[in-house]
């Protein structure tokens, strides 16, 4: 075991995922990586850098530019006992594989009455904040969270990314692993010797008493920023990192709302028929008598993801979050 795996180190999320993939490749020769330019290049974000040289081209495969073919091949490999990990190069490139993911990958286990597991992980860099062009920064997670048969998760910290990618690979169900690309580079502590939190557990990352903020991926750091600003104004905000979008762990959310009486749900994706909508509806249904104000959603607008020059107007920021907090506290 290397020193990397026995110590706590500050790493960017991209390197933490790389370390998690290396650990899984080492632990099982049934784990394979597939994707466009992930081998020699190491991926456009260098998440798989060095893995082909270490494990060989039969374990880390550069694929053709054909997302449907990549996922279809992964399904066949899973049927033969392998545990393929597929990289979709950018979020907007997942749509050519949408039919394979939603019509095949998500349904095969149910179709076979549980006799055929589908241990496939599909890694999707997603979200904005990087000034990219069209189809290179989107938030398509709601499509997949809506699809029965898929598990959908998104880490917000390097430590979670390291552990969650390994848990996803260990799952016998297909997992959509959404990686917030704007969080690839900021560093954070990764404890290589700790126990992993359950893959589908949400987590309170800041305690508070006046209102609850809930989000996932890149939004978590924005929520913490808003909570820090609010603290300077005497407002105590509790922040919850969802971590899992399907299934959603509601227990910490409901417990928090029972305490604070107010909920603001935040996401980068458009608000209509979204993960945030589902959380708002469920909390209103299950914690109605604890709410002192309507659940408020803060999201991207219901338009296609805009050009880089105006993405800051589309993406929620601390000001929009705090404006929602003010509205909630006004009741």
Which residues make beta-bridge pairs with 264?
A: 213, 296
Confirm whether 136 is a catalytic residue: yes
Asked if 123 and 81 touch (Cβ cutoff 8 Å), the reply is no
Catalytic residue from among 135, 136, 146, 200: 136
Residues in the chain: 331
Question: Three-state secondary structure along the chain?
Answer: CCHHHCCEEEEEHHHHHHHHHHHHHHHCCCEEEEECCCCCCCCCCCCCCCHHHHHCCCCEEECCCCHHHHHHHHHHHHHCCCEEEEECCCHHHCHHHHHHHHHHHCCHHHHCCCCCCCCCEEEEEECCCCCCCCCCCCCCHHHHHCCCCCEEECCCCHHHHHHHHHHHHHCCCCEEEEEEHHHCCCEEEEECCCCCCCCCCCEEEECCCCEEEEECCCHHHHHHHHHHHHHCCCCCEEEEECCEEECCCCHHHHHHHHHHCCEEEEEEEECCCCHHHHHHHHHHHHCHHHCCCCCEEEEECCCCCCCHHHHHHHCCCHHHHHHHHHHHHCC
Cα separation, 98 vs 114, in Å, equals 22
Query: Catalytic amino acids?
Result: 136
């Amino acid at each position: 075991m290397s020193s990397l795996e026995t110590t706590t180190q500050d790493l960017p999320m991209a390197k933490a995922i790389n370390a998690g993939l290396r650990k899984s490749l080492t632990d099982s020769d049934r784990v394979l990586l597939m994707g466009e330019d992930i081998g020699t290049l190491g991926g456009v974000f260098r998440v798989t850098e060095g893995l082909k040289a270490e494990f060989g081209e039969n374990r880390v495969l550069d694929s053709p530019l054909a997302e449907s073919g990549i996922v279809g091949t992964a399904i066949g490999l899973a049927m033969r006992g392998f545990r393929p990990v597929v990289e979709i190069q950018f979020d907007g490139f997942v749509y050519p594989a949408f039919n394979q993911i939603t019509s095949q990958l998500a349904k095969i286990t149910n179709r076979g009455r549980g006799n055929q597991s589908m241990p496939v992980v599909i890694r999707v860099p997603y979200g904005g904040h990087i000034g990219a062009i069209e189809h290179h920064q989107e938030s398509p997670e709601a499509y997949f969270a809506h699809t029965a048969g898929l598990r959908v998760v998104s880490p917000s910290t390097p430590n979670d990314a390291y552990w969650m990618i390994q848990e996803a690979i260990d799952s016998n169900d297909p997992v959509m692993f959404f990686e917030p690309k704007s969080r690839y580079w900021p560093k954070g502590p990764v404890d290589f010797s700790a126990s992993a939190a359950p893959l589908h557990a949400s987590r309170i990352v800041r305690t508070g008493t006046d209102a609850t903020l809930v989000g996932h991926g890149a939004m978590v750091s924005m929520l913490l920023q808003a909570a820090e600003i609010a603290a300077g104004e005497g407002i105590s905000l509790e922040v919850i990192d969802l971590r899992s979008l399907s299934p959603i762990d509601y227990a910490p959310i409901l417990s928090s709302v029972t305490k604070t009486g107010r909920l603001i749900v935040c996401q980068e994706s458009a608000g209509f028929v979204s993960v945030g909508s589902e959380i708002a509806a469920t909390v209103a249904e299950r914690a109605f008598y604890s709410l002192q104000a309507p659940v408020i959603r803060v999201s991207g607008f219901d338009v296609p993801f805009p050009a880089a020059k105006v993405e800051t107007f589309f993406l929620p920021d601390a000001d929009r979050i705090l404006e929602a907090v003010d509205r909630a506290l006004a009741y």
